[in-house]
Amino acid sequence: MGLPGSIRTCVVEKVIMIRDEIKKKVLKTLEDSFPSNDISEISETDLFREHLELDSFGLMNLVVSLSRKFSIPFNPMDIERMKNVESVIAIISEKLDQKSK
């Protein structure tokens, strides 16, 4: 049996709130790491390599900054998956979920 409606709504709202907080921190990290780029123009699905002209060195700088900001480590498979804001949010959400268990 599933959760009662009001509890399910609270859980969904909390997940959305957490996702929004992660997104804000990711965008702030991008802004701080790449000040010459207009981050306000980037969508969640824009590819870093194309929109930010991010090379592997830039990606590693981003990974280090994100790791510090969220206090989580990233493995090579995580880094390979980091293609855009959407994928970074998903990876961080997974890591934070694992960390809380």
- DSSP, res 88: H
pTM of the model: 0.82
Tens digits of residue pLDDT in 33-69: 999 888 888 999 999 999 888 888 999 999 999 999 9
3-state secondary structure of 100: coil
For residue 65 the two structure tokens come to 């900054």
Q: Which residues contact 99 (CB under 8 A, 6 or more apart)?
A: 72
C-alpha span between 24 and 33 (Å, rounded): 14
Residue 91, φ and ψ in degrees, nearest 5: -65, -45
